[in-house]
Chain A
Amino acid sequence: MKTDYQVQSFYFWLVLGVLFSINVLIWATPLYVENIHEWFSSWPKQLFSTICHQQVDRSYRIQGIPLAVCVRCTGFFAGVLLSFLCFSVFKGFVSSEKSKNIRIFLYTMLVLMMDWVANLFQLWQTPEHIRMLTGFSWGGAAGICLVFALLKKK
């Protein structure tokens, strides 16, 4: 992408605010609740229950209290935020071709889905950090697509 493109600042700050809040909420949940009993009935857990299975043994824990989402979703949301921030600054790396960005998104999604299904059918058990990485890479691709969406010619 050439330098004659710019990120639309209104949407940039709006999206950044939403992504940042989601990440803070995910990581702050263990600090917000005092014990595992409280975690199950906490509002951050309820909030994310629509989009994540929140299985406690598949979530990062801080002092025994799980984050609001599983390892993979934690990676996904961190990936979207970091990639959105990075590629907004280094927008020269984002392709101006629609199909290229969609392909990156679909490939990383495919990797995640394959690992997801393999874990589901017990073909293999992916270690925690690899699960996080599959989420992170898909989130990273989503972040690139977001920057692509917000770019406009100067």
Chain B
Amino acid sequence: MMESEKSMLKPVLMTGLIFGFVLFLVGILAGYYIISKEPTGRFFMVTFLTVGPTCLIALFISFFAVKSYVKENGPEMTLGKGAIIGLSAAAIAAAVSVVFMFIWPMIDSSYLENYYSALIAETEITTALPPEMREPMIDAYYEEMRSSNSITSFLSNLVSSVFMLSLLNAITGLIAAKIFGTRPVETL
């Protein structure tokens, strides 16, 4: 039992830390791209860049974690183990990326203000949204900007990211276990 728990730790930790950093990096690069470009009103481009790539990467964390587990310990694994590996690796990755995102404005103090200003500028001139939607959206961005480096906002981001990514990766972990692993032989 202890042996199997030990052997899960390394692939889960490594994958979680690497993917956490990748998610943070992709998110922050998208943020700087949005800050650096002139507002064009192409709102989809902006919202897509902030979430699209990270979403695709995040859904497959379990695949990399299970693959890494199989590489170290051999292919024998149950579906449940695949789910646990996916869940744990995604939880670590989500936590790491949220923590980095929280720390980053301490390194670049103008980041949050520039980022939200860019989002607000895009929202103001976009034609994709009806005017009655634009106003509350801009208000919401102002609200987010004010509270984004508070502990409450950090905790709420942490809980929602960890919960959602863990849940989805527990499910994709089942598929990953079937693809990369083989069922243990049942012995009497």
Determine which of A35, A43, A120, A150 lies in contact with B174 in the assembled complex, contact meaning CB atoms within 8 Å. Answer: A150
Are A15 and B174 interface neighbours, CB within 8 A? yes
Are A150 and B79 interface neighbours, CB within 8 A? yes
Tell me, in angstroms, the Cα distance from A152 to B132 when the chains sit together. 53
Interface size class of B (residues with CB under 8 A): 35 or more
Per-residue CB contact flags for chain B residues 122-147 toward chain A (1 = under 8 Å, else 0) read 00000011101100110110010000
Q: Does A56 contact B (CB under 8 A)?
A: yes
Per-residue CB contact flags for chain B residues 175-188 toward chain A (1 = under 8 Å, else 0) read 10111000100000
Distance in angstroms from A99 CB to nearest chain B CB is 10
Are A53 and B161 interface neighbours, CB within 8 A? no
Distance in angstroms from A139 CB to nearest chain B CB is 12
Q: Number of contacts between A and B (CB, 8 Å)?
A: 101
Q: Does B9 contact A (CB under 8 A)?
A: no
Tell me, in angstroms, the Cα distance from A58 to B43 when the chains sit together. 11
Q: Does B105 contact A (CB under 8 A)?
A: no
Q: Which residues of A contact B167 (CB under 8 A)?
A: 18, 22
Q: Does B96 contact A (CB under 8 A)?
A: no
Are A11 and B174 interface neighbours, CB within 8 A? yes
Q: Does B55 contact A (CB under 8 A)?
A: yes
Q: Which residues of B contact A142 (CB under 8 A)?
A: 175
Assess A46 versus B133: contact at CB under 8 Å? Given A55-B44, A146-B174. no
Are A51 and B174 interface neighbours, CB within 8 A? no
Q: Which residues of B contact A41 (CB under 8 A)?
A: 140, 143
**Of all chain B residues, which has the CB nearest A46?**
B160
Q: Does A102 contact B (CB under 8 A)?
A: yes
Are A50 and B94 interface neighbours, CB within 8 A? yes
Are A51 and B168 interface neighbours, CB within 8 A? yes
Per-residue CB contact flags for chain B residues 22-57 toward chain A (1 = under 8 Å, else 0) read 000000000000000000001111011011101100
**Of all chain B residues, which has the CB nearest A38?**
B136
Q: Which residues of B contact A22 (CB under 8 A)?
A: 167
Distance in angstroms from A84 CB to nearest chain B CB is 10
Other contacts beyond A46-B157, A56-B137, A152-B183: 17, CB < 8 A: A36-B132, A36-B136, A40-B136, A40-B137, A47-B160, A48-B164, A51-B59, A52-B51, A54-B47, A55-B44, A57-B128, A57-B129, A57-B133, A102-B179, A119-B44, A145-B175, A146-B171
Q: Could you list 15 examples of A-B contacts with CB < 8 Å? A: A11-B79, A22-B167, A37-B140, A40-B143, A41-B143, A46-B156, A50-B58, A50-B94, A50-B165, A53-B51, A55-B43, A116-B52, A120-B44, A120-B48, A149-B175
Please list the residues of chain A having a beta carbon within 8 angstroms of any beta carbon in chain B.
Answer: 8, 11, 15, 18-19, 22, 35-37, 39-41, 43, 46-58, 98, 102, 116, 119-120, 122, 142, 145-146, 148-150, 152
Q: Which 4 residue pairs are nearest across A and B when measured between Cβ atoms?
A: A40-B140, A53-B47, A149-B178, A53-B51
